[in-house]
Amino acid sequence: MDFYVYLHKKKTTGEVFYVGKGCGKRAWVESNRSDHWKRVRNKYGLIVEIVMDKLQEWYAYEVEAELTLKYGLNRDGGILVNQIHGGWGVLEGTNNPNHDSTEYDFMNLNTNEKFQGTKYEFQQKFKIKSAPMFYTGKTSKGWIVYTGQTQEELDRLRFPSKEENNGNTDTTVYSFSHKDGSTFKGSRLSFIREFGFSPYHLFGTNPCKTQRGWYLEDNADVVKKSKRCQKIYRWVHDIYGEFLGTREQLETLYSLDTRPLFTTHKPKRTTKGWSLSPQQSE
């Protein structure tokens, strides 16, 4: 029997509010849902989207678990009304009746570290879900399944870019500067290839016009005067403890985006585990 993974979205906004795994007509069945699910469905309407289909059941469980972690449960500050995280739950590893005992070659594109073992062994050692590597062909926190890819193929995985095959790619040469004094001159795509991330914040509505310490030289004066770069906040994290600094400093140090904490429309309580302390320092 084939299984699939599906999303339930709000009809009015398209926002995901539920992740599920099933077969047959399960994705369209509205009975046997939680009261929370029913309230959201009645208020916003329902759109059903099949993410992946024709999966073995244990594959479907892994993809469901990965998506649940991606969107987060509502009770943990996420957007899902799911009551529990997806996946096999307590049935892990060799206790899973569909346990995959195949050994794979895993490789980290950033460090070139390699690991050989089963999916379960990989997940236990590195605390990283393997589903994206097998079902989307992409990386999972820098890791891939190594099958003898060429250097060109590895580079494409290492520096993915929607702009790469776009006929409207911006070929303008920009001058980038970093707060540590480094400089770089080139197109947005060449920046991605050089540093491994897209500088989209530098061209958007980000008030500070900085990203991971980088900014456009044309915006140097704006960066220096921005309150975003000057106001000091007190941040707290369950693992890392307390941090005192600006939004830009926290974003640069921990590679995260603080905007969800400050948006005026449904602000989040945490972003990657970080939250604003009730006791703020100016």
Interatomic CA distance for residues 123 and 120, integer angstroms: 5
Nearest to 9 by CA among 65, 54, 51, 66: 51
The residue type of 124 is Q
Domains of the chain, with CATH numbers? Answer: 3-76 (3.40.1440), 100-158 (no CATH), 174-221 (no CATH), 231-276 (no CATH)
Burial of 250 (0-12, 13-18, 19+ CB in 10 A): buried
Instruction: Give the per-residue SS3 of the chain.
Output: CCEEEEEEECCCCCCEEEEEEECCCHHHCCCCCCHHHHHHHHHHCCEEEEEEEEECHHHHHHHHHHHHHHHCEHHHCCCECCCCCCCCCCCCHHHCCCCCCCCEEEEECCCCCEEEECHHHHHHHHCCCCHHHHHCCCCECCEEECCCCCHHHHHHHHCCCCCCCCCCCCCCCEEEEECCCCEEEECHHHHHHHHCCCCHHHHCCCCCCEECCEEEHHHHHHHHHCHHHHCCEEEEECCCEEEEECHHHHHHHHCCCCHHHHCCCCCCCCECCEEECCCCCC
Tens place of pLDDT per residue across the chain (282 aa):
788 999 999 999 999 999 999 899 999 999 888 889 999 999 999 999 999 988 887 788 878 887 887 888 887 778 999 877 665 443 445 545 445 677 889 998 888 889 988 887 887 788 776 766 765 566 777 888 888 888 777 777 776 654 454 445 567 888 988 877 888 998 887 787 777 677 776 775 554 567 777 888 887 776 665 555 567 888 888 777 788 888 777 776 776 777 777 766 566 677 777 888 776 644
Interatomic CA distance for residues 230 and 208, integer angstroms: 10
